[in-house]
Amino acid sequence: MDSESIVYGCIKHFPFGDPDARRRSCEHNARALAALPDADGWPFLCREMFSVPGDDVLTGQYKTQVIHFGMSYRAVEYEWEHWLAKFEALLKDMYWVTAVVHLETEFAGHHTFVWDSAETCHEPSDQPLHVRCEWAREGMPL
């Protein structure tokens, strides 16, 4: 039986500027996610794995837009470079302050990947992204 991998995390965007600029940046992020493919076939990232809050306190957004996501895969760690490339392409097209991805695997332990914007906020661009990774292995040593 193949091993299962769980991927989950969040993208945080603290909208800056006047109310119209804040609304536009949040709407831009929602459009970037809506442009992702459906879950049919083998997409590494698909629209269905993301959840975007509303634009007010009653629908999930006080100040920070917190976009959360999660999906269960069959051994995605063997194709992790492809997953990361698609995720970073998405991040390059969004407004955000930080992004965190947790990868939980049965055999390779737990990994946490963190992206921080170089400036106050990342704006859509082709600028290189910087990620740091933390790894933890539970259980007996091999």
Domain residues of the chain, as ranges? 4-136
Write down the H helix ranges in 7-140. Answer: 19-34, 80-92
Please choose, from the candidates 132, 68, 77, 67, the residue with its C-alpha nearest in 3D space to the C-alpha of residue 104.
Answer: 77
Nearest in space to 96 (alpha carbons), one of 32, 20, 19, 5 = 32
- Cβ neighbors of 107 (< 8 A, separation 6 or more) are 3, 77
Name the band, by pLDDT with cuts 50, 70 and 90, for residue 8. Answer: very high
Q: Residue 98 above 70 pLDDT?
A: yes
Average the pLDDT over 15-35 and give the result. 90
